[in-house]
Amino acid sequence: MSSVWSRPVPERRPALTREAIVAAAVTLADAEGLAAVSIRRVAAELGARAMSLYTHIERKEDLLALMLDEISRELLAEEPPPGDWRETLLALARSERELVRRHPWRVELISQRVAVGPNALRHVERKLAALDGLGLDRATAWQVLAAVADYVTGFVIREAAERAAPRRDGVSDAERAALAEPYLRELVGRGEFPRLAPLIEAGTPGAGDSFERGLRWVLDGIEGDLAGR
């Protein structure tokens, strides 16, 4: 089976192009979530018949791959800062976090391991370029990127889940905390959790408070390991 990006795009009326289909699917996912996206629903949004979309996109999996790569284009909008590899990776990680904030369904597609497209590869190429001056072999450079990517991916998944919960459950974070507070105070009041008790009393920091610090810890560890080689 050939890649969706290598297949010829048939000519059709201007309103129904592959680009228009993908744009409509992205808009739909942003508004209603990934579960709302189907060939039939996207066709309805475009005022077209579902069968007409299949002349541009053979299956839903291809549409999801094209959607992921389309939003990956946003990661290429600005050039990363030149110079220090740490600051470059930090800037690129920030852009990945902001991308998920705009398109939270990206985390679902990552977990589904949809096909990687050219824009995503260009973003990876940028990250590899940031390491050029370190003299790393290819395997080590890839391990560095994997360590940073694992942190960023784990963080944005947690943050996206926290942001989605109020809309999904119909309960705000403040309301959820108020409901849980009596039970938590009862538990810590028994003295069984002496280390958790101060955190619960003071309030644990949210995901948004720790991204930069956690990533710098990861980069500190990488830098220390490379210096010891």
Largest CA distance in the chain: 71
**What is the pTM assigned to this prediction?**
0.78
- Residue 205 and residue 139 in one domain: yes
- The total of structural domains in the chain comes to 2
Residue 62: how many CB atoms within 10 A of its CB? Answer: 20
Residues of the chain with pLDDT under 70: 1-2, 5, 9-15, 80-82, 165-180, 202-208, 229
The CA-atom distances, in angstroms, between 33 and each of 26, 37, 42, 109, 219 are 9, 8, 13, 12, 33
Rounded Cα distance between 49 and 53, Å, is 7
- Residue 65 and residue 79 in one domain: no
- Residue 125 and residue 150 in one domain: yes
Alpha helices in 103-137, H assignment, sequence order: 106-112, 118-129
User: Residue 106's domain is classified under what CATH number?
Assistant: 1.10.357.10
User: Residue 44's domain is classified under what CATH number?
Assistant: 1.10.10.60
Rounded Cα distance between 152 and 103, Å, is 15
- Residue 54 and residue 162 in one domain: no
Task: Return the beta strands (E) in the chain as ranges.
Answer: none
Three-state DSSP class for 176? helix
CA torsion sign for 129, 120, 216, 111 is negative
DSSP assignment letter at 3: -
Q: What is the distance in angstroms between the CA of the first residue and the CA of the last residue of the chain?
A: 44
The CA-atom distances, in angstroms, between 23 and each of 13, 67, 95, 157 are 16, 8, 20, 23
- Residue 140 and residue 195 in one domain: yes
Encode pLDDT of 133-192 as tens digits. 899 999 999 999 999 999 999 999 888 887 776 566 565 666 666 666 777 777 777 777
The CA-atom distances, in angstroms, between 72 and each of 26, 44, 121, 180, 189 are 12, 25, 9, 38, 48
- Residue 179 and residue 168 in one domain: yes
Domain presence at residue 151: yes
Domain extent for 26? 18-72
- Residue 68 and residue 78 in one domain: no
- Residue 81 and residue 59 in one domain: no
Rounded Cα distance between 62 and 136, Å, is 35
The reported pLDDT for the residue numbered 102 is 94
Domain presence at residue 2: no
Rounded Cα distance between 147 and 65, Å, is 24
